[in-house]
């Protein structure tokens, strides 16, 4: 900065303090444009050295400038001349001024890649999308829900449109507790907080428990939304791999030997994207570790009831109900548009989460809670789950057969026991952006594995979702993917042999 500001005029004998002189000097330089908007100011240490003042004086100078709106400070990045929004002549044409006002948003290349894949494939009938793991449209219980909705208005009338408590509708919490007692995620309605989808549940938990600098551990690969919430929290996020017995608990123990871990995040059944369960032995070990080392576990069970050949496993929370916070929803079995999710927890953590739910959106839509409560009280949900078993199993098998036929030489995969996805790892690594672009050219989309991982490993992986496509489309999708892979390898070879310019 010293090349832009002349500090030689500071008058140590003057009536005006040196602090004030520095404030005036820097603010005039900002006013006359010598220091333009966005310019980074030197660290306080350097300002102190250049001006011959102590470090506290330099810090005070920046504080005063910030109070007057001349500069903004951002932890870890430094102090900057405030961006002055350009005035826009016409309100209709130019919204660029907003960029100067909007605070910075932390995002990851992985999340951006995923958003791209939804944006680009949305509404394109020529592209077979193996990227979205939503419930099969063929199973949507629309007629049943229409009937239940009419019944709700018949029975409770305008109460269905009322404000209610943040915890959620008592009838729904009771239904959820009944299921929780059988599956092991809750034992009484008071443990349940209704939220707007599991996504909100995950976000509330990470915001309630983590502060910048805390250490959190997450299964990797995982649900991209869990990664986004963890990254937004500012915590240091460490990844732990998954094998055929699920989350690698021995790897977690090695991390615990070196770090004070506050939160461990995982799905214990039909995991997205590997489709595997946490083994009994590992679940026991994880529950014991949580108790011994006093950390929270966020257990996500959104795919736990989608099974192909075995019953849904007991949830981890049964083994350590004070340490495990459970999230789940009806999004994967009924429909994501309902936005009915829940958290099961207890103690001060539950009180904190309830208060945050209140701050966020007060409560989850009353009408949808009435519908969900009646739907769960009937045996409609059991029928819905039963319909899903052969439906999704046939689609999983069709995808596995297509992989055997077209990609056996190029990759390997774990057979999912539940859920909507197959996790494919390629034998030869390839840039997944190149593969993704070639795939789109061939008319197929997938989720790049790197979008689901804390740190992309040396191998290339793909998440392929089968839930929304009939068997013949899955076969065609994998055929296109195999062609795209060959094309991507050709691009890679051409790049490798191109002379450096
Ligand atoms: C593992 C996992 N957890 C949570 C969610 C979010 O679920 P919801 O739609 O209920 O917010 C998803 C959605 O894809 C998911 O895959």
Which residues fall within 8 angstroms of residue 138, CB to CB, at 6 or more apart? 391
- 199 Cα to the center of ligand 1, angstroms: 6
Using alpha carbons, select from 227, 217, 319, 223 the residue that is nearest to residue 262: 217
Which pLDDT belongs to residue 416?
98
Question: Is the beta carbon of 199 within 6 A of some atom in ligand 1?
Answer: yes
Res 480 pLDDT > 50: yes
| Continuous H helices in 362-470 | 366-377, 380-407, 432-442
The lowest-confidence range among 103-107, 113-117, 183-187 is 113-117
Strands (E), 209-354: 215-219, 236-240, 242-243, 246-247, 261-267, 296-300, 324-329, 341-344
Which residues fall within 8 angstroms of residue 443, CB to CB, at 6 or more apart? 126, 127, 128, 480
Rounded mean pLDDT of 129-142? 94
Cα separation of 463 and 492, whole Å?
21
Which pLDDT belongs to residue 109?
59
Rounded mean pLDDT of 463-488? 97
Residue-wise pLDDT tens digits, 194-225: 999 999 999 999 999 999 999 999 999 999 99
Phi and psi angles of residue 150, each rounded to the nearest 5 degrees, phi first: -60, -40
Residue-wise pLDDT tens digits, 412-442: 999 999 999 999 999 999 998 899 999 999 9
Cα separation of 131 and 120, whole Å?
11
Res 121 pLDDT > 80: no
Res 87 pLDDT > 60: yes
Question: What mean pLDDT is reported for the chain?
Answer: 92
Question: Is the beta carbon of 364 within 6 A of some atom in ligand 1?
Answer: no
Which pLDDT belongs to residue 336?
96
Residue ID of nearest Cα to ligand 1 atom 15: 223
Question: Is the beta carbon of 272 within 6 A of some atom in ligand 1?
Answer: yes
Res 1 pLDDT > 60: no
- 36 Cα to the center of ligand 1, angstroms: 44
More confident residue, 66 or 99: 66
Highest mean pLDDT among 6-20, 137-151, 448-462: 137-151
Rounded mean pLDDT of 328-353? 98
Residue ID of nearest Cα to ligand 1 atom 7: 198
Which pLDDT belongs to residue 323?
98
Going by pLDDT thresholds of 50, 70 and 90, the confidence category of residue 5 is: confident
Res 294 pLDDT > 50: yes
Best of 194, 331, 360, 419 for a ligand 1 pocket test (most atoms within 8 Å of beta carbon): 331
Res 133 pLDDT > 60: yes
Q: In the chain, helix, strand, coil percent, each to 5?
A: 50, 15, 35
Rounded mean pLDDT of 475-480? 98
Res 123 pLDDT > 90: no
Question: Is the beta carbon of 197 within 6 A of some atom in ligand 1?
Answer: yes
Rounded mean pLDDT of 90-113? 69
Which residues fall within 8 angstroms of residue 406, CB to CB, at 6 or more apart? 478, 479, 481, 482
The lowest-confidence range among 147-151, 237-241, 455-459, 484-488 is 455-459
Going by pLDDT thresholds of 50, 70 and 90, the confidence category of residue 114 is: low
Res 128 pLDDT > 80: yes
Res 267 pLDDT > 60: yes
Using alpha carbons, select from 342, 376, 318, 77 the residue that is nearest to residue 182: 318
Which pLDDT belongs to residue 73?
85
Question: Is the beta carbon of 465 within 6 A of some atom in ligand 1?
Answer: no
- 97 Cα to the center of ligand 1, angstroms: 35
Q: Which helix (H) or strand (E) is 60 found in, with range?
A: helix 55-67
Using alpha carbons, select from 337, 346, 23, 364 the residue that is nearest to residue 164: 364
Closest ligand 1 atom, residue 339 Cα: 10
Number of Cβ within 10 Å of residue 26's Cβ equals: 25
Percent of the chain residues past pLDDT 70, beyond the cut: 93
Rounded mean pLDDT of 294-302? 98
Cβ–Cβ under 8 Å, residues 327 and 272: no
Cα separation of 316 and 114, whole Å?
29
Which pLDDT belongs to residue 402?
98
Residue-wise pLDDT tens digits, 368-414: 999 999 999 999 999 999 999 999 999 999 999 999 999 999 999 99
Which residues fall within 8 angstroms of residue 353, CB to CB, at 6 or more apart? 193, 204, 205, 208, 325, 343, 345
Question: Is the beta carbon of 418 within 6 A of some atom in ligand 1?
Answer: no
Residue-wise pLDDT tens digits, 25-43: 999 898 888 898 888 899 9
Res 468 pLDDT > 90: yes
Residue-wise pLDDT tens digits, 153-171: 999 999 999 999 999 999 9
Res 23 pLDDT > 80: yes
Closest ligand 1 atom, residue 340 Cα: 10
Which pLDDT belongs to residue 292?
97
- 187 Cα to the center of ligand 1, angstroms: 23
Question: Is the beta carbon of 227 within 6 A of some atom in ligand 1?
Answer: no
Question: Is the beta carbon of 225 within 6 A of some atom in ligand 1?
Answer: yes
Res 498 pLDDT > 50: yes
Going by pLDDT thresholds of 50, 70 and 90, the confidence category of residue 120 is: low
Res 107 pLDDT > 90: no
Question: Is the beta carbon of 275 within 6 A of some atom in ligand 1?
Answer: no
Cα separation of 130 and 235, whole Å?
32
Using alpha carbons, select from 398, 413, 410 the residue that is nearest to residue 485: 410
Burial (CB < 10 A; 0-12, 13-18, 19+), residue 390, is exposed
Cα separation of 257 and 250, whole Å?
11
Which pLDDT belongs to residue 2?
45
Classify each residue of 182-214 as buried b or exposed e, where b means 16 or more C-beta atoms within 10 Å of its C-beta: ebbbbeebebbbbbbbbbbbbbbbbbbbbeeeb
Which pLDDT belongs to residue 310?
95
């Amino acid at each position: 900065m010293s090349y832009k500001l002349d500090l030689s005029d500071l008058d140590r004998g003057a009536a005006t303090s040196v602090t004030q002189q520095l404030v005036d000097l820097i603010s005039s330089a900002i006013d006359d444009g010598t220091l333009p908007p966005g310019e980074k100011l030197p660290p306080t240490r350097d300002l102190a050295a250049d001006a011959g003042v102590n470090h506290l004086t330099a810090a005070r100078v920046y504080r005063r400038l910030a109070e007057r709106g001349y500069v903004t400070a951002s932890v870890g990045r430094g102090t900057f001349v405030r961006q002055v929004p350009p005035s826009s002549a016409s309100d209709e044409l130019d919204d660029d001024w907003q960029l100067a006002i909007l605070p910075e948003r932390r995002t990851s290349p992985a999340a951006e890649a995923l958003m791209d894949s939804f944006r680009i494939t949305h509404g394109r009938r020529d592209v077979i999308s193996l990227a979205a793991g939503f419930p099969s449209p063929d199973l949507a219980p629309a007629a049943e829900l229409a009937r239940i909705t009419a019944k709700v208005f018949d029975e409770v009338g305008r109460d269905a449109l009322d404000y209610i408590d943040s915890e959620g509708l008592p009838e729904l919490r009771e239904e959820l507790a009944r299921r929780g007692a059988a599956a092991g995620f809750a034992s009484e309605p008071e443990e349940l907080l209704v939220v707007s989808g599991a996504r909100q549940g995950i976000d509330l938990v990470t915001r309630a428990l983590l502060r910048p600098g805390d250490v959190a551990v997450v299964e990797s690969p995982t649900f991209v939304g869990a990664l986004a919430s963890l990254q937004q929290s500012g915590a240091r996020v460490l990844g732990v791999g998954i094998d055929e017995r699920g989350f690698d608990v021995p790897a977690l123990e090695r991390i615990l030997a070196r770090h004070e871990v506050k939160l461990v995040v995982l799905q214990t059944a039909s995991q997205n994207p590997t489709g595997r369960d946490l083994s009994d032995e590992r679940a026991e070990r994880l529950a014991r570790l949580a108790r011994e080392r006093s950390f929270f576990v966020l257990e996500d069970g959104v795919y736990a009831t989608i099974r192909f050949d075995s019953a849904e496993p007991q949830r981890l929370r049964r083994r350590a109900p004070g340490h495990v916070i459970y999230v789940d929803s009806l999004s994967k079995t009924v429909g994501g548009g309902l936005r009915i999710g829940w958290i099961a927890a207890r103690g001060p953590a539950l009180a904190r989460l309830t208060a945050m739910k209140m701050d966020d959106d007060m409560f989850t839509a009353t009408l949808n809670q009435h519908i969900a409560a009646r739907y769960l009280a009937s045996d409609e949900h059991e029928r819905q789950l039963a319909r899903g078993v052969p439906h999704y199993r046939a689609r999983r098998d069709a995808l596995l057969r297509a992989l055997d036929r077209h990609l056996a030489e190029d990759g390997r995969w774990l057979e999912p026991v539940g859920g909507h996805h197959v996790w494919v790892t390629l034998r030869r690594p390839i840039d997944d952006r190149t593969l993704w672009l070639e795939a789109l050219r061939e008319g197929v989309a997938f989720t790049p594995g790197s979008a689901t991982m804390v740190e992309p490993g040396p191998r290339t992986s793909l998440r392929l979702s089968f839930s929304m496509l009939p068997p013949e489309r899955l076969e065609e999708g994998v055929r296109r993917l195999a062609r795209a892979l060959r094309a991507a390898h050709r691009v890679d070879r051409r790049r490798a042999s191109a002379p450096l310019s």
